[in-house]
Structure 1
Amino acid sequence: MSISHAPPVTEEPDISPVPVPDLDLQPLAPASSRRTRVPRWLRRAAGPVLLLLLWQLLSGTGALPPDVLASPGRIARVGGDMLADGSLPAAMGTSLQRVAGGLMVQARDFLRTDVIVVCLVVYAFLGLLADFVVRSLEKVLLQWRPTFTGR
């Protein structure tokens, strides 16, 4: 005696067919593909540029006094002058020595929040620059990999 657990074989379908009305359906596209895409480099640069604009606006209106923190325009002019007379490399070397020697610790000891803010902004720009360099090198050096998308 054998017992079969298989369902009985029938030629009729279990579900009766449901009539489907003829609808004029349009395929849906995701919202990300419908709108124009802003280039990635522009999205990444928007934050630091807006920060610089805010800094310049606060400096220009007097809300941020020049004895606390100079305006970005003033810093750019002084940097251009130092580059023209050749004193910029020596000043950059001195600044790097101070950073290596613990500028952040000294600034905290003397409650120099302006120095801390400037250092954070400089570090943010250096981080973005390093990211840009690494991504550029990846695009050039990893083109041979079929799985590399280069985004």
Structure 2
Amino acid sequence: MAAVAAPPDISPMSRDRPVELEPVVPVSGRRRPVPRWGRRTVGPVGLLVLWQVLSSAGVLQPDILAAPGTIASAAADLVADGTLPSAMAVSLQRVAVGLLIGGVAGTGLALLSGLSRLGEDLIDATVQMLRTVPWVGLIPLFIIWMGIGEAPKIALIALGVAFHLYLNVYAGIRGVDEQLIEAGTSLGLSRAALIRHVVLPGALPGAMTGLRYSLATAWLALVFGEQVNADDGIGFLMNRAREFFQTDVIVVCLVVYAFLGLTADIVVRTLERLLLQWRPSFTGQ
């Protein structure tokens, strides 16, 4: 008969002895994660390095696209003599005025159309028809109606902003949950209180999305608008650089456009996080 192994010794002393356990560290926790800003800069830095390498190797000729070093030197010269800060101030003023006018018009029309069926019948069809017209194609009419001063440039920006805000604010109002409206009504809220405490907060996410689209459209409209007989601004610098084949100055102006647009988007994102803290959202994994 096979021998049976003796059971392990479980004496009172061994039962009272604490068991030493080694902490298990996950593999992901042993590595120091790369910060998000580092990951986000990999693409732009890699593109910049490739651009410099191709320029140094002679693949990219200066008359086609200037090297990053040449562009940085041109930007420093424009900043030193005050040309670039002055142009940025003029362009920012145009965007701010156009955004204010278009924002008030688009939001006001969206409130009238979204909160009232009569307003929808009177406004929505007209706006939907006009928004299909390419607003850039209205530049010749704006010049005829308003001349070649600041008015057509601001009107072009305001028009692009108004349509984006109208669509998103209107969709946000009409996207409010009907059960919330019924709950507010059953609690005895008046129409004004219902709009203030239920409808407008529910439409705020759509309004913030519309604001982000509007800012992007505002900068795009500024590019087109400043091609119309501008005597100052970033577009004026681009036109003057084009006449003298200064690709470095043209790229500087494009980078400034991109920087201003990115800054505006960051501001809106920050504002969105502050105003929409009550709404949980998925932030990625």
Normalising to structure 1: TM-score of the pair?
0.50
Larger radius of gyration: 1
- Which has the higher relative contact order, 1 or 2, with Cα contacts under 8 A spaced 6 or more apart? 2
Normalising to structure 2: TM-score of the pair?
0.29
